Protein backbone atom coordinates (compact mmCIF):
# COMPACT_ATOMS: atom_id res chain seq x y z
CA UNK A 1 0.00 0.00 0.00
CA UNK A 2 1.11 3.61 -0.50
CA UNK A 3 3.30 5.18 2.16
CA UNK A 4 2.23 8.55 3.58
CA UNK A 5 4.68 10.98 5.21
CA UNK A 6 2.98 13.18 7.84
CA UNK A 7 4.84 16.40 8.70
CA UNK A 8 3.04 17.90 11.70
CA UNK A 9 4.41 19.30 14.98
CA UNK A 10 1.25 18.69 17.03
CA UNK A 11 1.29 15.10 18.30
CA UNK A 12 -2.48 14.89 18.79
CA UNK A 13 -3.16 15.87 15.18
CA UNK A 14 -0.48 13.50 13.90
CA UNK A 15 -1.90 10.62 15.96
CA UNK A 16 -5.38 11.27 14.54
CA UNK A 17 -4.05 11.22 10.98
CA UNK A 18 -2.00 8.09 11.57
CA UNK A 19 -5.04 6.27 12.98
CA UNK A 20 -7.27 7.33 10.07
CA UNK A 21 -4.73 6.53 7.35
CA UNK A 22 -3.63 3.21 8.79
CA UNK A 23 -7.31 2.29 9.10
CA UNK A 24 -7.50 2.67 5.30
CA UNK A 25 -4.49 0.41 4.85
CA UNK A 26 -1.80 3.06 4.32
CA UNK A 27 1.60 2.91 5.98
CA UNK A 28 2.75 6.12 7.64
CA UNK A 29 5.78 7.98 8.95
CA UNK A 30 5.49 10.99 11.24
CA UNK A 31 8.01 13.84 11.39
CA UNK A 32 7.66 17.23 13.08
CA UNK A 33 10.18 19.36 11.15
CA UNK A 34 10.34 20.53 7.56
CA UNK A 35 14.07 19.96 7.11
CA UNK A 36 13.77 16.43 8.44
CA UNK A 37 10.97 15.80 5.93
CA UNK A 38 13.17 16.97 3.05
CA UNK A 39 15.98 14.65 4.13
CA UNK A 40 13.56 11.76 4.57
CA UNK A 41 12.00 12.22 1.13
CA UNK A 42 15.41 12.20 -0.53
CA UNK A 43 16.44 9.00 1.27
CA UNK A 44 13.14 7.05 1.40
CA UNK A 45 10.55 8.66 -0.91
CA UNK A 46 6.96 8.57 0.31
CA UNK A 47 4.00 8.31 -2.07
CA UNK A 48 2.26 11.39 -0.64
CA UNK A 49 3.14 14.03 1.96
CA UNK A 50 0.69 15.66 4.37
CA UNK A 51 2.41 18.92 5.27
CA UNK A 52 1.49 21.35 8.03
CA UNK A 53 2.18 24.99 7.13
CA UNK A 54 3.06 26.17 10.66
CA UNK A 55 6.17 24.09 11.40
CA UNK A 56 8.75 25.05 14.09
CA UNK A 57 11.82 25.28 11.82
CA UNK A 58 10.81 26.26 8.28
CA UNK A 59 7.26 26.83 7.08
CA UNK A 60 5.33 24.26 5.12
CA UNK A 61 5.37 26.67 2.16
CA UNK A 62 9.18 26.81 2.22
CA UNK A 63 9.39 23.05 2.72
CA UNK A 64 7.23 22.52 -0.36
CA UNK A 65 9.30 24.94 -2.44
CA UNK A 66 12.49 23.06 -1.56
CA UNK A 67 10.78 19.73 -2.09
CA UNK A 68 9.78 20.68 -5.64
CA UNK A 69 13.46 21.10 -6.55
CA UNK A 70 13.92 17.33 -6.50
CA UNK A 71 10.52 15.65 -6.18
CA UNK A 72 7.03 15.73 -7.71
CA UNK A 73 5.47 13.75 -4.85
CA UNK A 74 1.84 14.78 -4.18
CA UNK A 75 1.53 17.24 -1.28
CA UNK A 76 -1.51 18.01 0.86
CA UNK A 77 -1.23 21.13 3.03
CA UNK A 78 -2.75 21.36 6.51
CA UNK A 79 -3.35 24.84 7.88
CA UNK A 80 -5.31 26.74 10.50
CA UNK A 81 -5.62 29.59 7.97
CA UNK A 82 -8.57 29.39 5.61
CA UNK A 83 -8.01 32.57 3.58
CA UNK A 84 -8.22 32.25 -0.21
CA UNK A 85 -4.77 33.78 -0.67
CA UNK A 86 -3.16 31.06 1.47
CA UNK A 87 -4.92 28.35 -0.51
CA UNK A 88 -3.88 29.86 -3.82
CA UNK A 89 -0.27 30.37 -2.74
CA UNK A 90 -0.07 26.80 -1.47
CA UNK A 91 -1.37 25.37 -4.72
CA UNK A 92 0.77 27.68 -6.86
CA UNK A 93 3.98 26.43 -5.27
CA UNK A 94 3.11 22.84 -6.08
CA UNK A 95 0.61 21.40 -3.61
CA UNK A 96 -2.22 19.11 -4.72
CA UNK A 97 -4.72 19.90 -1.98
CA UNK A 98 -5.26 22.24 0.98
CA UNK A 99 -7.15 21.21 4.11
CA UNK A 100 -8.13 23.64 6.86
CA UNK A 101 -7.99 22.76 10.56
CA UNK A 102 -10.05 21.50 12.28
CA UNK A 103 -10.67 18.75 9.77
CA UNK A 104 -12.34 15.39 9.51
CA UNK A 105 -9.71 12.60 9.56
CA UNK A 106 -11.97 10.49 7.35
CA UNK A 107 -12.20 13.31 4.82
CA UNK A 108 -8.41 13.68 4.77
CA UNK A 109 -8.05 9.93 4.18
CA UNK A 110 -10.61 10.13 1.36
CA UNK A 111 -8.76 13.04 -0.23
CA UNK A 112 -5.48 11.14 -0.01
CA UNK A 113 -7.08 8.17 -1.78
CA UNK A 114 -8.54 10.45 -4.46
CA UNK A 115 -5.20 12.14 -5.16
CA UNK A 116 -3.33 8.85 -5.40
CA UNK A 117 -6.03 7.39 -7.66
CA UNK A 118 -5.78 10.35 -10.01
CA UNK A 119 -1.99 10.04 -10.04
CA UNK A 120 -2.24 6.58 -11.61
CA UNK A 121 -1.38 6.84 -15.34
CA UNK A 122 -4.51 6.55 -17.44
CA UNK A 123 -2.83 6.10 -20.80
CA UNK A 124 -1.02 3.15 -22.32
CA UNK A 125 2.77 3.19 -21.73
CA UNK A 126 3.31 5.03 -25.01
CA UNK A 127 0.71 6.79 -27.11
CA UNK A 128 1.36 8.69 -30.32
CA UNK A 129 -0.90 11.70 -30.96
CA UNK A 130 0.09 13.31 -34.27
CA UNK A 131 3.23 15.31 -33.47
CA UNK A 132 3.12 14.38 -29.78
CA UNK A 133 4.25 11.17 -28.08
CA UNK A 134 3.06 10.46 -24.53
CA UNK A 135 5.14 8.07 -22.44
CA UNK A 136 3.01 7.66 -19.31
CA UNK A 137 5.39 5.28 -17.54
CA UNK A 138 8.23 7.80 -17.77
CA UNK A 139 5.90 10.79 -17.27
CA UNK A 140 7.30 12.28 -20.47
CA UNK A 141 5.80 13.97 -23.52
CA UNK A 142 7.74 14.65 -26.71
CA UNK A 143 6.71 17.26 -29.27
CA UNK A 144 8.08 17.01 -32.79
CA UNK A 145 10.56 14.41 -31.50
CA UNK A 146 11.85 16.76 -28.78
CA UNK A 147 11.25 15.82 -25.11
CA UNK A 148 9.49 18.57 -23.18
CA UNK A 149 10.66 19.60 -19.71
CA UNK A 150 7.34 19.57 -17.86
CA UNK A 151 6.26 19.77 -14.25
CA UNK A 152 3.90 17.06 -13.05
CA UNK A 153 0.93 19.41 -13.34
CA UNK A 154 1.92 20.46 -16.86
CA UNK A 155 2.29 16.82 -17.88
CA UNK A 156 -1.18 15.95 -16.58
CA UNK A 157 -2.79 18.94 -18.27
CA UNK A 158 -1.18 18.30 -21.64
CA UNK A 159 -1.89 14.57 -21.41
CA UNK A 160 -5.56 15.29 -20.72
CA UNK A 161 -5.86 17.62 -23.73
CA UNK A 162 -3.96 15.33 -26.10
CA UNK A 163 -6.01 12.26 -25.27
CA UNK A 164 -9.19 13.90 -26.61
CA UNK A 165 -8.35 16.20 -29.55
CA UNK A 166 -10.77 19.07 -30.21
CA UNK A 167 -12.69 18.47 -26.98
CA UNK A 168 -13.10 21.66 -24.95
CA UNK A 169 -12.20 21.11 -21.30
CA UNK A 170 -13.42 23.51 -18.63
CA UNK A 171 -11.07 24.65 -15.90
CA UNK A 172 -12.93 22.41 -13.44
CA UNK A 173 -12.38 19.37 -15.67
CA UNK A 174 -8.69 20.20 -15.99
CA UNK A 175 -8.47 20.54 -12.21
CA UNK A 176 -9.80 17.01 -11.99
CA UNK A 177 -7.05 15.88 -14.35
CA UNK A 178 -4.52 17.39 -11.94
CA UNK A 179 -6.06 15.61 -8.99
CA UNK A 180 -6.92 18.94 -7.34
CA UNK A 181 -10.26 19.32 -5.59
CA UNK A 182 -12.53 21.80 -7.36
CA UNK A 183 -13.40 23.56 -4.09
CA UNK A 184 -9.94 24.98 -3.35
CA UNK A 185 -10.18 28.16 -5.43
CA UNK A 186 -7.57 27.09 -7.97
CA UNK A 187 -9.50 27.40 -11.24
CA UNK A 188 -7.74 30.54 -12.49
CA UNK A 189 -4.32 29.01 -11.86
CA UNK A 190 -5.06 26.60 -14.71
CA UNK A 191 -4.46 29.65 -16.92
CA UNK A 192 -0.94 30.00 -15.52
CA UNK A 193 -0.14 26.36 -16.25
CA UNK A 194 -1.50 26.71 -19.80
CA UNK A 195 0.62 29.83 -20.33
CA UNK A 196 3.72 27.95 -19.20
CA UNK A 197 2.87 24.98 -21.44
CA UNK A 198 2.45 27.24 -24.46
CA UNK A 199 5.82 28.87 -23.82
CA UNK A 200 7.53 25.47 -23.77
CA UNK A 201 5.77 24.35 -26.94
CA UNK A 202 6.82 27.57 -28.74
CA UNK A 203 10.45 26.79 -27.95
CA UNK A 204 10.02 23.77 -30.24
CA UNK A 205 7.73 25.34 -32.87
CA UNK A 206 7.28 29.09 -32.57
CA UNK A 207 4.54 29.29 -35.20
CA UNK A 208 2.34 26.48 -33.82
CA UNK A 209 -0.60 26.93 -31.44
CA UNK A 210 -1.77 23.41 -30.49
CA UNK A 211 -3.55 24.57 -27.31
CA UNK A 212 -6.59 26.63 -28.21
CA UNK A 213 -8.48 29.00 -25.89
CA UNK A 214 -12.28 28.99 -25.93
CA UNK A 215 -13.28 32.18 -24.18
CA UNK A 216 -15.63 31.57 -21.28
CA UNK A 217 -15.43 27.81 -21.79
CA UNK A 218 -11.89 26.46 -21.43
CA UNK A 219 -9.14 24.92 -23.55
CA UNK A 220 -8.68 22.26 -26.22
CA UNK A 221 -5.94 20.55 -28.24
CA UNK A 222 -6.19 21.22 -31.97
CA UNK A 223 -4.07 18.88 -34.14
CA UNK A 224 -4.51 21.18 -37.14
CA UNK A 225 -2.64 23.95 -35.26
CA UNK A 226 0.19 21.72 -34.01
Name the β-bridge partners of 220.
Answer: 212
pLDDT at 136 over 70: yes
Roughly what angle, to the nearest 10 degrees, separates helices 60-67 and 84-92?
20
Please, what is the end-to-end C-alpha distance for the chain in angstroms? 40
Q: List, as one string, the DSSP characters of 61-92.
A: HHHHHHHTTT----EEEEES---HHHHHHHHH
Q: Where are the domains of the chain?
A: 3-119, 127-225
Q: For residue 40, give every residue at least 6 positions away whose Cβ sits within 8 Å of its Cβ, in sequence order, or none.
A: 5, 29, 31, 46
Percent of the chain past pLDDT 70, that is, above it, reads 89
What's the pLDDT at 9? 94
Say whether 127-225 and 3-119 share the same fold: no
Q: What is the pTM of this model?
A: 0.61
Say yes or no: domain 3-119 is CATH 3.40.50.2300. yes
Residue 128 has pLDDT above 60, yes or no: no
- Burial bucket for residue 99 (CB in 10 Å: 0-12, 13-18, 19+): buried
142-172 per-position pLDDT tens digit: 999 899 998 888 888 999 999 888 999 998 8
Phi, psi (deg, nearest 5) at residue 21: -75, -40
CATH class (in words) of the domain with range 127-225 = mainly alpha
- Between helices 171-178 and 189-204, what is the axis angle to 10°? 80
DSSP-derived letter for residue 224 is G
Q: What does the pLDDT look like over 11-52, one tens digit per residue?
A: 999 999 999 999 999 999 999 999 999 999 999 999 999 999
Is residue 50 within 8 Å of 7, Cβ to Cβ?
yes
- Looking only at the bridges linking them, the beta strands covering 3-7 and 211-214 are unpaired
pLDDT of residue 183: 56
Q: Is the pLDDT of residue 8 over 50?
A: yes
**Residues with Cβ < 8 Å from 221, sequence gap 6 or more?**
161, 162, 164, 165, 166, 167, 210, 211, 212
Residue 117 has pLDDT above 70, yes or no: yes
**C-alpha of 192 from chain center:** 14
Amino acid sequence: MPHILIVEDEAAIADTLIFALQGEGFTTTWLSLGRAALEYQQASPADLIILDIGLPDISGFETCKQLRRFSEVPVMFLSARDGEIDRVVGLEIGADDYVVKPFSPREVAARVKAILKRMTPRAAPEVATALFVIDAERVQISYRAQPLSLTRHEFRLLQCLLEQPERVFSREQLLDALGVMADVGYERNIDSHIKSLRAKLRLVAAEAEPIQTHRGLGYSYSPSHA
